[in-house]
Structure formats: C-alpha cells, structure tokens
Structure 1
Amino acid sequence: MAAPGLDGVLGALLGTLMLAIATTDAQRYIIPNELVGAAAALALLRAAAMAPDAGWYAALVAAARGIAVALPFLALMAGYRAWRGRDGLGLGDIKLAAVAGAWLSLVTVLAVIEAATLAALAAYIAHGALRRRKLRATAYLPFGLFLAPAIWFGWLAEALLNQSAY
C-alpha cells in the first residue's frame, strides 16, 4: 500500500483529477478551472490534515508554495508573449503548476516539471518523426497532458519515500 489512510484517499482523488485534466487538455487544449480548483482545494485540505498541530498555517504554507511555483510560469508566459507575439503557455498550465506547488515539496516540483517537459518534448519529436514532419516552433502542445500525470507521480514518490522513513 503506497499511502495508507487519509493521504492515500486524497492521493487517489488527486490521481482522478489529474487523469481528467490530462484527458481534457489532450482533447480540447484546455484545463478546466473546476478541476484545477478541486485539486488546489484538496492540496490545502491535505496540508491542514497532515499537520494537525499546524492546521491552517500548513495550508497557508502550501498555498504560498503554489504561488511561488506559479509565478515563474507566469513570467515565462508573459516573456514568451512579448518575444514571439503569441501564447506559449496557457493560464491553465500556470494554475496546474500552482497545484503542483501546493501538493509537493519544492524539490519534487522541480523534478516533476523537468519530467513533464522532457516527456512533452520526446512525445512531440517522436510524433513528428513518425509522421515524417519537421518540428515547428508554432506547434501547439497540450502541456497539461504531461504535467498532470507527473504531479500525481510526484505525490506517489513522496508518499513512498515518506512511508519508508518510518
């Protein structure tokens, strides 16, 4: 059992939400606010529940971590728009990054973002090679398709590591 008790239940709910986000982004290139909001609310609930002595302070720390992770993505979005004159990241991707920050430690967030980025690039390159198409800087890629599952795998890795610490 990866994460027993409440953390396991919340992790299963996170997995369900991340699957729904990945599927929706793959099909429609959109990350629904309702799903991201539910994942963020679960993160705050989890933070407060897993540190009962800290309570809502733990939830505030999780929220601050989420904001800290989202801000560089927001800066990247604005910089890319100013440089290229078009969007590179959507606001849904930025909100999903905030969810990663609220759920995971900062070290895990860095690994999750790197894994999602490398997976997205590999998928794009492989897709182009299979179809014998050139890579284009203007191609659209649903980043949530890669980031959402990576967030859940990040949670799972943390749960397994924390479980083995006892």
Structure 2
Amino acid sequence: MPNALTLFLWFCAGLVVLASAFAFAPDGTLLLTLGLGGLLLALAVIDIRTLTLPDPLTGLTALLGITMVWLHRADAWQPHFIGGLAGYGVLVAVEVAYRRWRGRDGLGRGDAKLLGALGVWTGWAGLAPIMLIASASALIGVLGLSAMGLRKADAETPIPFGPFIALGGWIVWLGGTVFVPAGLY
C-alpha cells in the first residue's frame, strides 16, 4: 500500500500532466493528448512498482497514437509508421545485444513496446529526443537518489526505465516542432 507522500506525489504528477496537456497539446488533439498523458502516468506507476509495462496499456498507447495520426496527420502517416517500427526495433536490438554481451537481461521488452508506441505519436524523428531525455533524466534520477542514500546504484540494481521513456515521449509530443522538424512532426 503506497504511503500518503507517494499518493500525493502521483496526484501532483497527474496535475502536471493535466495542466501541460491543456497548455501545450497540439491543435485539435486535447482529448487524445489527455488520453496519452493518463496512459503514460499509469505505465510509469506500474513500472516503478512492478518493473513491468503491461502490454494492454502499451498497446492502447499505440492504438491511441494511430487514432491521432488517422484523425490529424493522415497525410504524413509514413514518419509515424516508421517511428513505431523503429522505436520498437531499436530497443529490441539493444535488449538482445545486451543479453548476449552480459549474459543477462538489461532492458525489458515493454520498454521497446513503449518507445514504439511513442514513435507512432511523434514520428521517427522524435525517437532520438525521446531517448536523450529519457536517458538523461534516468541518469540524474538514479544518481540523485543514490546521493541521497535512498537507492543503491550499481550494475545489479534494476531500474524501471519506462517512466523515463514516458517522460521523454510526453515532453517531445507536447514540444512538437521544438524537438522535431515541422515536416516530420
């Protein structure tokens, strides 16, 4: 059972998602953006608690992205389709390479599915900024928690990466052409 502080922090995160969706959702996509924000928040909570990203939620994230493309970006569906495939494929390749190199899992398949779903939302050009934000925020978060003595940080400590991918995807989706050139967004 989560404590009051944890519940308060997730409530605040929900308010940030809500406020940022209203402030920065691309024109005509507010309801879809709110759906994306709710799914990403749910995925982050689940991954932090269980180190898993459930297929039904990542699948729904992708399906909502396909709906967004169909309704708002049908003339530019190719970059979004490629983004879904590339996002998934790149992290599967990293997962398999790491397992062969180290002899153990280092990245879950749910992370690949989530990046693929976010690739549908942002197109292939959004994948690099998503992963840059995800990697930098994960590094800062883990080092910060370790420095405060709240979490061990070594090669054996499992770290839920999904929340950081979700953060990167949310920022890139809302940031639009700040991160992705207009013709590719």
TM range (shorter): 0.7 to 0.9
1:143 aligns with 2:165: no
1:23 aligns with 2:45: yes
Match of 2:129 among 111, 116, 119: 111
Quick one: which amino acid aligns to residue 71 of structure 2? A
Quick one: which amino acid aligns to residue 7 of structure 1? T
RMSD after superposition: 2.3
1:40 aligns with 2:62: yes
Alignment gaps of 5+ in structure 2: 1-22, 181-185
Alignment gaps of 5+ in structure 1: none
Match of 1:123 among 141, 160, 167: 141
Q: Distance in 1 between matches of 2:116 and 2:99?
A: 20
* CA shift in 2, pair 1:46/1:85, >3 Å: same
Q: Distance in 2 between matches of 1:45 and 1:14?
A: 11
Q: Distance in 2 between matches of 1:115 and 1:61?
A: 20
Q: Distance in 2 between matches of 1:158 and 1:152?
A: 10
Per the TM alignment, residue 21 of structure 1 is displaced from its structure 2 partner at its CA by 0.4
CA deviation string 1:24-66 (max 9, x = no partner): 10111110111101110011111111135x4xx82x6523321
Count of aligned pairs: 158
Q: Larger relative contact order (C-alpha < 8 A, sep ≥ 6)?
A: 1
* CA shift in 2, pair 1:157/1:83, >3 Å: same
1:158 aligns with 2:176: yes
Using the aligned pairs only, state the percent identity. 31
Quick one: which amino acid aligns to residue 13 of structure 1? G
Per the TM alignment, residue 116 of structure 1 is displaced from its structure 2 partner at its CA by 0.8
Q: Distance in 2 between matches of 1:42 and 1:26?
A: 23
Per the TM alignment, residue 154 of structure 1 is displaced from its structure 2 partner at its CA by 1.2
